[in-house]
Amino acid sequence: MLVRQTKNTFIRFIGEMGYITNQMTRHDRTYNETGADFLREINRFPQDVDDIVARLRKVYNDSVSTEELRADFIEFIKDLDEHLFLVVGETREELDEKDLDFSYSLENPKTLVYDYTQETKQKVDECTQDFMLEATQREPHLNGLQFELTSRCNERCIHCYIPNPKKNAGGDMPVEKVKSLIDEFAEMGGLHVTLSGGEVLLHSDIISIMQYCREKDMQISILSNLIALKDEQIPAIKEANVSIVQTSLYSMDPDIHDLITTVKGSQVKTKAAIEKLVAADIPVQISCPVMKANYQGYADVLKYAQSLRCKAQTDYIMMAQSDLDTSNLANRLSLDETEVLLKDIMQWDKDYKEDTLRHPPLSEEIAFDIERFAKQPLCGAGINDCCITENGDVYPCAGWQGMVCGNVYKQSLKDIWENSLQMKQIRAITQGDFPKCLKCNARDYCAMCLVRNYNESGGDMFKINKHFCDVAFINKKVVEEYAASNAENYAMHYEWLICDIYHCGRYGVAAADADIYRRLVSCYFKLVQAQNDIHRNREHECQKEYNEILEEMNLHLKYSIDSIICGKQENYDKLKILKQDFPLPNIIAINYMIDSLRQILKDEKQ
């Protein structure tokens, strides 16, 4: 029996911890102890399982029998094979056949499956990325490196955080320097290289840099406006097996897009390039930052992305320029415009709705463990990511060019990463440094960020930016209003679901009608109100009432789930966020489950 990594899988070791990730499914896992030992034996070349087991026996000093070890190893690789991390088979040809290339003709080209947080026997029961962040907080590990390979750009976007004088001054990092930094990054155990700018396609050696990243087994992302893409570069990009090419498309109306980029004809070129990359089966992500000029038409961009089966994202949170000039923010949406946009997104953007509902408010987990939360970092900047600009300056994340941590023409990357005072300072910052946020009701809707604080406040990363606070509260309001305004619908959905499952009429199952749902909604809003008054007071009367109704509903829903799933994995998968144990955390998650269950029932009946 032979085994090897798939071409889209990457394996790394962070201290004793083994990490495996697949850039196509976006799944990842961490392993310690035996799992990490097993992972160490697997690489890109087909190997005989018996040879690996023989090597492993030496690792374990013959403390386990060959049969036991073989059985454990086979169980391990078969599971990873099933989830597309590895290919296992009898011949090399069989492995090649099983190793899928990225293609838009796949069932779901961006992820294949929804759930990013797979359980393994040895893994903690939380999202791998959160787990990694906590692990690397103790022991920083440079996992992602963004290069701004050139400061030149062929556009002058009205919102851009990179100051125009920097673009005008020009400057590329020489290819040899880039390669030596990639070598250093590889030695440090790095995984993910982002090639950006300015406009990265203006760098004359971009293709050879990409190829070098591939040789060094890097996961590659490219950020580009694509207007300079040449046809002959496309096969090389395909060959480099990039994880994603992210490009900005601001509007389907060429005039609006061009007004933002200030380059006539840019929309037509970007769009044509996107279509060429898609035709070549290269994964493209369309990014549509939303501002005053394009907020009326952003949905058309999302529809266009959907028609191509591309991943898409919107971003309405604009940051100030990295030189602390805030004039680009004149293009930012006002709070009223943001509210209109968020309502629209909530209504129409399925991905956004899923994401929001995936992280339901009133996070019980955080209410229980605020102490642990206070110790968590804000993000991975300086803990597992950093950036290098074309002049060699290193800073913790894109857009934070004001926070120079060192220069790779004067020191090694490793030295800067390990010893820079700025890096150490950023690393030491935790959620607890923002006491106001620990008690904040909008925390679950907030995208507070050190760079945004820094750039907009004239250089103080601890000065919480009021605009982002206001946006967080608007976001919370929109989500809650959405839940409330759909209460009647959900009540009827719930009733329909329960009646269908119990094979009864409206009053056939005691208390299993829409009224329970309505009581839950009204109690939920009483609870939210109470929690606004007394922060997360779990002994509050409303909380007790809420929990009682929740329990009542959960009983019925649990029965519904069992009946609908009928042991079928595909039905279980469709429940998405709801694979967790009861009790469900709150009303929004319940809405989501009711929707999900109704859909499965409908599908079954068709």
Residue 437 binding: pick among ligand SAM, ligand SF4, none (C-beta 5-8 Å cut-off by kind): ligand SF4
**Residues paired with residue 5 on neighbouring β-strands, in sequence order:** 86
Q: Which of 149, 162, 291, 601 binds ligand SF4 (CB under 6 A)?
A: 162
Smallest distance from ligand SF4 to CB 263, Å: 9
Question: Locate tokens 């925390």: which residue?
Answer: 443
CA distances from 166 to 247, 331, 394 (A): 21, 20, 16
**Distance (Å, whole) CA 26 – CA 446:** 24
Q: DSSP for 231-251?
A: GGGHHHHHHTT-SEEEEE---
Residue 135 makes contact with ligand SAM by CB under 6 A: no
Residue 440 makes contact with ligand SF4 by CB under 6 A: yes
Residue 303 makes contact with ligand SF4 by CB under 6 A: no
**Distance (Å, whole) CA 381 – CA 90:** 44
Residue 442 makes contact with ligand SF4 by CB under 6 A: yes
Six token digits for residue 455: 């750039």
- Interface positions, 166-195, toward ligand SAM (CB under 6 A): none
**Distance (Å, whole) CA 168 – CA 154:** 10
**Distance (Å, whole) CA 243 – CA 551:** 44
Helices 175-187, 206-215: axis angle to 10 degrees equals 20
How do 47-48 and 27-31 pair as beta strands? Answer: unpaired
Residue 328 makes contact with ligand SAM by CB under 6 A: yes
Residue 589 makes contact with ligand SAM by CB under 6 A: no
Q: Which amino acid is at 543?
A: Q
Residue 289 makes contact with ligand SAM by CB under 6 A: yes
CB 3 within 8 A of CB 88: yes
Q: Interface mask (CB under 6 A) for ligand SF4, residues 245-284, using x and -?
A: ----------------x-----------------------
Closest CB to ligand SAM among residues 84, 160: 160
Closest CB to ligand SF4 among residues 149, 593: 149
CB 437 within 8 A of CB 443: yes
Closest CB to ligand SAM among residues 160, 299: 160
Calculate the dihedral angle through the C-alpha atoms of 486, 487, 488, 492, rounding to the nearest 10 degrees.
Answer: 100
**Distance (Å, whole) CA 408 – CA 393:** 7
Residue 290 makes contact with ligand SF4 by CB under 6 A: no
> Which range of residues in 43-51, 186-194, 217-225, 567-575 is near ligand SAM by CB under 6 A?
217-225
Closest CB to ligand SF4 among residues 48, 255: 255
Smallest distance from ligand SAM to CB 204, Å: 16
Smallest distance from ligand SF4 to CB 517, Å: 30
Closest CB to ligand SF4 among residues 155, 184: 155
**Distance (Å, whole) CA 231 – CA 236:** 10
> Where on the phi/psi map is residue 446: left (φ > 0), alpha (ψ -120 to 50), or beta?
beta
270: enclosing H helix or E strand:
helix 266-279
What is the Cα Rg of the chain in Å? 26
Number of residues that bind ligand SAM (CB under 6 A): 18
Q: Which of 202, 244, 318, 442 binds ligand SAM (CB under 6 A)?
A: 318
**Residues paired with residue 244 on neighbouring β-strands, in sequence order:** 221
Residue 493 makes contact with ligand SAM by CB under 6 A: no
Residue 380 binding: pick among ligand SAM, ligand SF4, none (C-beta 5-8 Å cut-off by kind): none
CA distances from 24 to 85, 126, 168, 241, 307 (A): 10, 21, 37, 10, 19
> Which range of residues in 16-24, 42-50, 81-89, 156-164 is near ligand SAM by CB under 6 A?
156-164
> Which range of residues in 37-45, 223-231, 356-364, 418-426 is near ligand SAM by CB under 6 A?
223-231
Six token digits for residue 552: 């009542």
Residue 575 makes contact with ligand SF4 by CB under 6 A: no
Closest CB to ligand SF4 among residues 75, 255: 255
Query: String of b and e for 423-457 (b: at least 16 CB within 10 Å)?
Result: beebbebebeebeebbebbbbbbbebbbbbbbbbb
- Interface positions, 443-502, toward ligand SF4 (CB under 6 A): 443, 446, 448, 464, 468-469, 472
Smallest distance from ligand SAM to CB 287, Å: 4
Smallest distance from ligand SF4 to CB 258, Å: 12
Residue 588 makes contact with ligand SF4 by CB under 6 A: no
Smallest distance from ligand SF4 to CB 497, Å: 35
Residue 199 makes contact with ligand SAM by CB under 6 A: yes
CB 33 within 8 A of CB 20: no
CB 121 within 8 A of CB 114: no
Smallest distance from ligand SF4 to CB 199, Å: 5
How do 244-248 and 284-289 pair as beta strands? Answer: parallel
558: nearest Cα among 497, 489, 486: 497
Smallest distance from ligand SF4 to CB 154, Å: 7
Q: Which residues contact 267 (CB under 8 A, 6 or more apart)?
A: 249, 250, 251, 253, 254, 257, 258, 261
> Which range of residues in 405-413, 437-445, 522-530, 538-546 is near ligand SF4 by CB under 6 A?
437-445
Q: Which of 225, 453, 475, 586 binds ligand SAM (CB under 6 A)?
A: 225
Residues that bind ligand SF4 (CB under 6 A): 153, 155-157, 160, 162, 197-199, 225, 261, 434, 436-437, 440, 442-443, 446, 448, 464, 468-469, 472
Residues that bind ligand SAM (CB under 6 A): 153, 159-162, 196-197, 199, 223-225, 247-248, 287, 289, 318-319, 328
